[in-house]
Amino acid sequence: MRYILFLFIISAGFASCSEDFFSQTLDIDPPEYEKQFVVHGFGTNQDSSFQLALTQNYGILENVPDSAWAVPGATVVIFEDGQLKATLGISPDNQKVYEALVLPDFFQPGKIYELKASHPDFPTVTSRQTMPQPVAVDSVRFRENAGIDGDGSRLSAMDVYLKDEAGVENFYEIRMAIFYPILEFTYDSLGNTIIDTIGYQNFALAAVDSDDPNAELTYGGGIAISDRFFDGQSYKFAARMEEISGYTFRVYVRAITEEYYLWGVSAERKYQTDDFPLAEPVTTYTNLDHGIGVFGLAHEQAFDVE
């Protein structure tokens, strides 16, 4: 009897608790953060202009406003080998980015480029890159029936045959696009459909993977590799894509900086797993002092492949 009484007292004790007592959720304070510039700037030797997304970070409980793309009032400059090369301003055509018209000799291989962005409300960010030397490409070939992916779907591949420079740490990236026909549909007097090709659109293709185990997907649909696996040798580097044929492909073979490589790989991993709580956390690489993001350079060569 006394045990029953004991249990009754315990039960009564619980019954007197408020609803909050049983709640297993607690609001907690967000971590502290420093307001910083967020920079995404990618330069190549092919650019007719250089654009830079210069935004800012927000607290994790704040909203990121759609209209707050480019931080206004920032001073953004680029130095080439220590000399001021260009001053960027907000693009008149696109309020989202800072832009500089690129001089013909901009982003020269072997030259050092330094980005500096300053603003009274933010810590000044700087980043330095050395423009990579071009990669020696022997040939680029399209390959059908390049295997299947994890879902059993067929894949095609683009094989790039390149020659690596010995003794230098290089990073290579492949990006792909197709010339997609722009069609116009008209009808004749009998109601028949007439299809005319009125132009072509360069449509980016995302790489799915590589049959090369050392290759890594990069943010933006590319695939990249470090030459530490084949230093100084001729090498076939393949990018696989969803099965596709019958188009003209444009293949961009790029020599990229190590920082660009590290950012591209980490940003892609972050993108792929951001919504999956059981995936291991990803820290996105940055090469900006006092900022977030990347200033990356690539020496790019384009090849058209049937």
What are the residues binding another protein (CB under 8 A)?
Answer: 3, 6-7, 10, 14, 21-22, 24-33, 36, 38, 40, 53, 55-64, 69, 96-97, 150, 152, 203-204, 206, 213, 219-221, 262, 266-267, 269-274, 276, 278-285, 292-293
What values do phi and psi take at 289, rounded to 5? -75, 125
Q: What is the radius of gyration, based on Cα positions, of the chain?
A: 26
Sheet architecture: strand order including 155-163 = 136-143, 155-163, 234-242
Nearer Cβ to another protein (16/189):
16
Q: How far is the CB of 198 from another protein (least distance, A)?
A: 19
Yes or no: say if 136 and 168 are a contact pair by the CB < 8 Å rule.
Answer: no
Report helix, strand or coil for 71. Answer: coil
Nearer Cβ to another protein (10/168):
10
User: 254: which 2 tokens?
Assistant: 């790029």
Nearer Cβ to another protein (152/167):
152
How far is it, in rounded angstroms, from Cα 165 to Cα 234? 9
Nearer Cβ to another protein (24/192):
24
Q: How far is the CB of 226 from another protein (least distance, A)?
A: 11
DSSP state of 220: T
Nearer Cβ to another protein (62/144):
62
Pairing relationship of beta strands 291-305 and 37-44 according to DSSP bridges = parallel
Q: How far is the CB of 161 from another protein (least distance, A)?
A: 24
Nearer Cβ to another protein (46/165):
46
Q: How far is the CB of 63 from another protein (least distance, A)?
A: 8
Q: How far is the CB of 178 from another protein (least distance, A)?
A: 12
Instruction: Report in angstroms the alpha-carbon separations of 198 from 167, 179, 180.
Output: 49, 12, 11
How far is it, in rounded angstroms, from Cα 113 to Cα 128? 6
Q: How far is the CB of 56 from another protein (least distance, A)?
A: 7
